[in-house]
Amino acid sequence: MLIRYVGPALFSITMLLFSAMQLASAAESRAILDERFNWLTKEEADNTLRRIKQAGFNVFIPCIWHGRGVSWPSLKAKKEPFWEQKYKTGYDPLDYLITKAHQMDIEVHPWFTVVIRQGDFLPEFYDKGTPKRSFNIHLPIFRDYIVDVMMEVVTRYDVDGINLDYVRSKDICVSDFCINDYKRRYNRNLLKDVKEMQQDRWGVAANTIAAWNAYAVGEVVRRISEDSRKTKPDLIISVDTIVGMREFELQGADGIGWANKGWVDVVYHMDYQEKKKPVNRVFLNRGFQGLDDPDKLVLLAGNFSLFDKRAVPRDADFVNQIISFSRTLRRSGNGVALYQYRFLNEAQIDKLSNGAFKDIVRANWKKHR
């Protein structure tokens, strides 16, 4: 998920901070994402939950599927390499994490990177011409598989929500299957349309490719939404995306459409802004204007900076400010979110616990069916 997109400096964060604390309510969802599997042993889970609780977060979004294996007892794939290194017979790390988190009034929303593939993994779900390091979202057998994997977690565990990331094609598939599927659906030449799209990203060819990708990606979102709510109607379903970004639209990402159809409850808008290049208000406005319920949109802020091509923890004061600023973007919706736990250092914990998260509150979600 480490996407570095920073928009133009359209406005100053500090101009709105004076009112931010007034928008904090007695209940507020405060989510933090963990992409590095910092919970696979009891000791790691205890430490991670203690630290995020200390900082003031009440929703934990741990990545449990990163396109290379499972991190819970399952026969659907090999073990996630991080878990393989620490595996203990009979121990279920996801079950322990959820049980412990609930004891601490922390919700758990497992995170799946839907399309991303790492290494030579499940070769039956990609073919020559599939975007690099991806599964082929256009293969019905892959869509069946990934929905089945996610539903195993939904039905087996006491999860409060699920989070879908990389829920897009990642690029344009030009495999034989994709060429034939595109021809069958639209009676058009995919390779020719790809060339035309490169010249005109808003023309007929580009729009047709976007619609083709959107159908395949949307099928996964629709099915996991409908299937999971048969057994857990109150499950919170969220997606990570960049609303209004044409590149994502061409890859089939349609967070606004999925939200308006009721398939998802929260659209986490990724914008890991820098101090001198704050939030891209153009993208945010497109999201707010396109949503039937603007409260579904939540800014997913970053707590890291890039220094000499390395990601390092961001200044604690700025992290506190951007969380406070996030509150000014919502009315009564779905709180705030931070990416990611890996960079949550002691300075950030101290600043948040004495600043934006000074009051300890329970998670709260606005139901949007």
Q: What confidence tens digit (pLDDT) does each residue in 232-279 have? A: 999 999 999 999 999 999 999 999 999 999 999 999 999 987 766 668
Any domain includes 246: yes
Please count the structural domains in the chain. Answer: 1
User: How far is residue 236's CA from residue 97's CA, in Å, rounded to a whole number?
Assistant: 18
User: How far is residue 148's CA from residue 76's CA, in Å, rounded to a whole number?
Assistant: 9
Any domain includes 204: no
Any domain includes 118: yes
To which H or E segment does residue 291 belong?
Answer: none
Coil vs helix vs strand at 92: coil
**To the nearest 10°, the Cα dihedral for 40, 46, 51, 56?**
110
Any domain includes 2: no
Strands 111-113 and 59-65, bridge-based pairing: parallel
296 confidence band (pLDDT: 50, 70, 90): very high
In the prediction, which pLDDT does 113 show? 98
Q: Which domain holds residue 71?
A: 13-178+215-353
Q: Residue with structure tokens 């779900």?
A: 125
Least confident range from 143-147, 236-240, 284-288: namely 284-288
- Peptide bond connecting 103 to the previous residue in cis, omega within 30 degrees of 0: no
Mean pLDDT of the chain: 91
In the prediction, which pLDDT does 1 show? 65
The percent of residues in the chain predicted with pLDDT above 70, rounded, is: 91
What tens digit of pLDDT does each residue of 116-133 get? 999 899 999 999 999 999
14 confidence band (pLDDT: 50, 70, 90): very low
Q: Who's near 346: CB < 8 A, 6+ residues apart? A: none
Statement: residue 99 has pLDDT above 80: yes
Residue 79: beta bridge partners?
70
CB 138 within 8 A of CB 130: no
Any domain includes 208: no
Coil vs helix vs strand at 295: helix
Q: Is 27 left (phi over 0), alpha (psi -120 to 50) or beta?
A: beta
Any domain includes 4: no
Q: Residue 289's domain is classified under what CATH number?
A: 3.20.20.80
Q: DSSP character for 342? A: G
Q: From start to end of 206-303, where are the E strands? A: 236-241, 266-270, 297-302
Higher pLDDT, 92 or 15: 92
Any domain includes 188: no
Q: Which two tokens stand for residue 275?
A: 């101090």
User: How far is residue 353's CA from residue 24's CA, in Å, rounded to a whole number?
Assistant: 14
User: How far is residue 29's CA from residue 212's CA, in Å, rounded to a whole number?
Assistant: 35
Statement: residue 34 has pLDDT above 90: yes
Any domain includes 185: no
In the prediction, which pLDDT does 366 show? 80
Looking from the CA of 63 toward its CB, the CA atoms found within 13 Å total 25
Statement: residue 7 has pLDDT above 80: no
Coil vs helix vs strand at 22: helix
Q: Which two tokens stand for residue 340?
A: 């990611």
Q: Report how far Cα 188 is from the mean position of its chain's Cα atoms.
A: 33
Model pTM score: 0.92
Phi, psi of 162 (to 5 degrees): -135, 150
